Amino acid sequence: MPTPRFFPRPFVPFICGVAWCASVAFGADGGGDADMAAARAAAMQAYKSQVAPLMTTYCARCHSGNKQKGGVTFQSAFKSPDAASFRALWKRSSAQIKTHDMPPEDEDKQPSEQERQAIIEWIDSMKRLSPKDPGQFVIRRLSRVEYGNTLHDLFGVDPQISRDLPDEVFGAGYTNSLSPLLMEQYLAVANEVLNRVMAPSGAPPTAVQRRLLGTDPDAGADRRAAARDVARSLARLAYRRPPSEAEIDVLLRVFALASDQGKSYPEALRLMVKGVLVSPQFIFITPGPSGTAGAADAAGDIVPLDDYQLASRLSYLLWATMPDAELSALADAGKLRDPAVLAAQARRLIADPRARAFFDGFGAQWLGLDKLAGKTFDGEKFPQMTPELRASMYDEPRLLFESILRENRSLATFIDSDYTFLNGTLAPIYDAKSSVSGPEMRRVKLTDANRGGILTMPGVLATSSFPNRTSAVNRGVWVLEQVLGEHVPPPPANVPTLEKQDQDKIASMTLRQRTELHRTNAACASCHKVLDPIGFGLENFDAIGRWRDKDDSGGAIDATGELPGAKRFGTPAELKRIIAGRTDDFSRNLTGRLLAYALCRQLEGYDEVVVDQLAGAVADDGYRMQTLVVGVVTSYPFTHRRLNSQGDASHAK
């Protein structure tokens, strides 16, 4: 794991030894029981001889025995430091030690930088003790957007037909519940689809009917056999894989029930199609029927995904819809498990306009732009925040994301680019009203070094602002977490906000001075000393991203700051250069976020090793965006799954 460059990285011999032992133990195959035992023994020896004395000296007084300051205790972790159940605790501790949040500044005993780094390196090495494991496949419900897109591709209806379905929890935790109320909503959508694409009783069939259901059987023909053929072909499309005979039998029972009630052949088919649209096989993404995956490993609990599931997983990741004809044909031919074929298909999907869905699903969440349309702003102070401006603020980073992806640019372009995308609505925010007009977004060359990249885009700046003012704290947290992958602890309880400060005392203060006054609280100082300077460095941009030289109090903007490691800056351009110098950290953060999004679950255990491997490969190829995406879709966790004791897969969390 690349160490953040705001913090020195001294040579720590014993840690290197642990990492070497773990890498030898697991290498490409994950190693056996003997290798695992050897690696664990080496880690424990390193802990006892080097880390335990440091933890005892600097942490035990407040976080062991009967003392649990902040609700944190290492009492059990000290006894079994290598236990997987304590990984989250160790990771949180590493983040706080790294940022000097712990031990608190008022503690007399403070570890040296080398001692801090020793603990951090040991904690990081623990992930390499995780056995090679792709994790369980997460069964999840199609999102509202995915459901609408799939209906469009299958029946040709407007994707907005699913607009009344509820919102979802995306990324590392999809929703998969199906309550009675939600089932009623799916039934309503199914009825609307059928009303749009199927002709009324007695009328000639529509083009969609002929394409999906064929023609009515001749008089005297076996209607059930004809319906079975329809069920097989329709289910192959709707389920994104060949249906089992048992699944076809279920659909035939629906057809038979309608026929027994005197329904005509088209009417009975209509009910069968409705059954398909509300079936779990259509609504959920599942690993497929038992026995369709490849051979299990020697332990019998890890299997490769079958070609059909790979096709769906890839298509819904990049297009948010069902596999197209080419992907489906490759799945039928059993070729998608070839990494070269899978990589080529990923690049093909990236080049297609439907890959816009990749930003709408992943990119917008990562940047926080999925909340921009509904965010509240002071209408009197910012009357410019119309739906049209919000849409343009969203499209600017979307188009940058797409250009970096399709042109296979370096990830560093996200941090500092010399171009952006503007239209006549967004141009005034950039003070470029005279050079850009009209509603169409177009690529624009930037000449102001303070602009360019996601840190200074109006949409991103607006999402991290309050309704009536900027927030240096929110902006600093956003950069640390979303860009650099740092963990920022939540604020202590009972700390007043800026709005609750003594109004007489702050009457003539700038926002920066008020924030710095807030930092005099010892409970706040340790975090704010890192995140505030970043936010101050962006204070030249107001709450909706316009450049300013004075803040709301009339005081001059002071954008100077210093980050750990004597990294000084005086302008947003200089701050961006410092952040851009941490490309390794940004790349690893984006890699982890994308892998979690692709797997629809939180990363754990061996996933962290995979992230390290992927981030290393991306760095070796010049941080190319397509290298990252292709690396994720061909990775071990994306192409394999672990069986659970009950059978197939786990539900979304």
| pLDDT single digits (tens) 563-586 | 877 789 999 999 999 999 999 999
Long-range CB contacts (< 8 A, 24+ apart) of 485-489? 485/585, 485/586, 485/588, 485/589, 485/592, 486/4, 486/95, 486/98, 486/99, 487/91, 487/92, 487/95, 487/96, 488/527, 488/531, 489/92, 489/95, 489/96, 489/101, 489/527
Provide φ and ψ at 436, rounded to 5°. -130, 130
How far CA 549 is from CA of 305, 381, 452, 536, in Å, comes to 56, 17, 19, 13
How far CA 174 is from CA of 41, 177, 629, in Å, comes to 38, 10, 20
pLDDT average, residue stretch 618-644: 96
Between 294 and 98, name the one with better pLDDT: 98
CA nearest neighbour of 138 among 589, 596, 592: 596
Q: How confident is the model at residue 18 (pLDDT cuts 50, 70, 90)?
A: very low
pLDDT average, residue stretch 20-35: 47
Peptide bond into 8 cis (omega under 30): no
Residues linked to residue 650 through DSSP beta bridges, in sequence order: 138
Report the mean per-residue pLDDT for the chain.
86
Residue 300, C-beta contacts closer than 8 angstroms, at least 6 positions apart: 643
| pLDDT (0 to 100) of residue 501 | 53
Q: How confident is the model at residue 513 (pLDDT cuts 50, 70, 90)?
A: confident
| pLDDT (0 to 100) of residue 102 | 85
| pLDDT (0 to 100) of residue 516 | 64
Range with the lowest mean pLDDT among 418-432, 514-528, 585-599?
514-528
Torsion sign across C-alpha atoms 547, 552, 554, 559: negative
Tokens of 466: 């309050």
| pLDDT (0 to 100) of residue 30 | 44
| pLDDT (0 to 100) of residue 214 | 94
User: Is the pLDDT confidence value at 13 over 50?
Assistant: no
Residue with tokens 């996200």: 414
Tokens of 300: 């019998």
The highest-confidence range among 161-175, 297-311, 323-337, by mean pLDDT, is 323-337
CA nearest neighbour of 395 among 421, 362, 373: 421
Give kind and range of the element (H or E) at residue 419: strand 419-422
CA nearest neighbour of 246 among 296, 290, 183: 290
User: Is the pLDDT confidence value at 336 over 60?
Assistant: yes
pLDDT average, residue stretch 19-44: 58
pLDDT in tens, 112-143: 999 999 999 998 888 888 888 998 888 889 99
Give residue 26's region: left, alpha or beta (phi > 0; psi -120 to 50). Answer: alpha
pLDDT average, residue stretch 71-97: 86
Percent of the chain with pLDDT over 90: 64
User: Is the pLDDT confidence value at 201 over 90?
Assistant: no
Which residues in 225-241 are b (16+ Cβ under 10 Å) and which e? ebbbebbbebbebbbbb
pLDDT in tens, 362-411: 999 999 999 999 999 999 999 999 999 999 999 999 999 999 999 999 99
Q: Give the residue ranges of DSSP H helices in 427-549.
A: 458-463, 472-478, 503-506, 511-518, 522-536
Provide φ and ψ at 139, rounded to 5°. -75, 125
Between 527 and 466, name the one with better pLDDT: 466
Q: How confident is the model at residue 155 (pLDDT cuts 50, 70, 90)?
A: very high
| pLDDT (0 to 100) of residue 170 | 46
**Residue 516, helix vs strand vs coil:** helix
